Amino acid sequence: MSGRWARTFLTAYRFAGAAAYPLVGPYVAWRTSRGKEDRVRRRERYGIAGRERPEGPVIWIHAASVGETIAVVPLVESILDYGVNIVLTTGTVTSAQVAEERLGDRIIHQYVPLDLKPAVSRFLDHWRPDLAIIAESEIWPMTILELGARRVPQVLVNGRLSDRSFKSWKKRANIAEALFENLAHVVAQSEIDGERFLSLGARPVTVSGNLKVDTTPPPADEKALYALKRQIGARPTWAAISTHEGEETVAAEVHAMLHKRHHGLLTIVVPRHPDRAEALAAQISGMGLKVARRSKGDRITADTDILLGDTIGEMGLYLRLTEIAFVGRSLTSEGGQNPLEPAMLDTAVLAGRNVQNFRETYQRLLDSGGAKLVRDRDMLAGAVNFLLSNEVARHEMMAAGAATVEEMRGALACTLKSLEPYIQPLVVKSRLKGANGR
């Protein structure tokens, strides 16, 4: 498909809608059905606003889920200091809760409209954003095209393209170019991501580093932390966090292999999707291990083998209970999960070898000695055993991870510099409006 025909295709798509084209129709259907909905605010997903538009310039910032929302909080706070209104959209209930907890009424929160023309048009007609800032890898054809048609500058921040996404877009390179040329600027996480966006037609592209590095460590409720530490006492611990299917079983098997060698060992398992907890608890109990579920308030007793962290928003609590963390989606699934939070909290990081989505972060941690990759269950058991048995090596690994995070900081300043040409005119406009209104 030539560039000319790609543009013709996308123009037709913009007016006909996703149902007419199988290439992107399944994507819209997936977005429509994914995750749990906030029934009270479901109309927002169809572009029907739940709030009035404020006077003056408005910046629309979108962060899909919890990780992206946490990553953009410092950026949002920095922009708020300029005195510009922000509408922050997220795609999940949990990310909406994070936005409420960390930003409160300083921003207007809305659920992101579905990538369908009527929904996107209603959203844009109401909010009339002067600038759109989209986090990470949220590429919505309809939204990008509608913003482009209205000449609203669009900036992708903390941008990344996984191996799978890049391969998929390369197969449709002309369509990618016709879409990405609507982006005023791409601020990419890494050199690899930057090169990928450039090859797909994005211009200009800046490399900033990962915004998640410039966030604060995940918080923990002090009262809950004190209570759990009292229950655990001096028992040795290790954690398997952000785990995906199959990795919880591996963690339980590692526990069974090590608990006699390390008397009183407690293994903390934090699944990526807590709604799997019921089945996981039954599965692990079936292995002859005693499980305490955090969501049910189960006490950790002397014979508890596994603390199942089946709650949302308490990663900071779980990580403060240990000095060793295996980061999931890296043994039985592909792509990996973000290792920055455990590294920030002085935790020795272990992971499987499938960490493509966080390749540069892991490489920095590996080079400094702050992380170690394992091949399989037995190698994971060996690594956990070594770290439990060698306090000096464990603390050296913890310190190396924390130091690496500090060295990687700076993405926020770089991102703000890239955004300055788009934000400063809005700041001036906002101040002029304020002066005229007095």
Which residues belong to the active site?
Answer: 68
Of 402, 406, 392, the closest CA to residue 371 belongs to 402
Distance of CA 101 to the CA centre of its chain: 16
Q: Is 371 left (phi over 0), alpha (psi -120 to 50) or beta?
A: beta
Of 149, 145, 122, 152, the closest CA to residue 61 belongs to 152
Distance of CA 360 to the CA centre of its chain: 16
**Backbone dihedral angles phi then psi of residue 320, each to the nearest 5 degrees:** -80, 0
Taking the CA atoms of the chain, what radius of gyration do you get in angstroms? Answer: 23
Of 135, 143, 152, 131, the closest CA to residue 208 belongs to 135
Buried b / exposed e over 232-244, threshold 16 CB at 10 Å, is beeebbbbbbbbb
Beta-bridged to residue 108, according to DSSP, are 87
| Sign of the C-alpha dihedral computed for residues 126, 127, 133 and 134 taken in this order | negative
Q: How many residues does the chain have?
A: 438
Residues 70/75/79/81 CA torsion (nearest 10 deg): 80
Reported in sequence order, the residue ranges of 255-346 that DSSP labels E, i.e. its strands, are: 266-271, 291-293, 306-308, 324-327
Of 40, 44, 43, 84, the closest CA to residue 61 belongs to 84
CA pair distance 430, 433, nearest whole angstrom? 5
What is the CB neighbour count within 10 angstroms for residue 376? 11
Of 91, 85, 87, 149, the closest CA to residue 121 belongs to 149
Both tokens assigned to 400 = 């190396």
Q: How far is CA 109 from CA 97, 105, 355, in A?
A: 10, 8, 32
Greatest Cα-to-Cα distance within the chain, rounded to the nearest angstrom: 74
Which runs of consecutive H residues, i.e. helices, occur in 84-116? 93-103
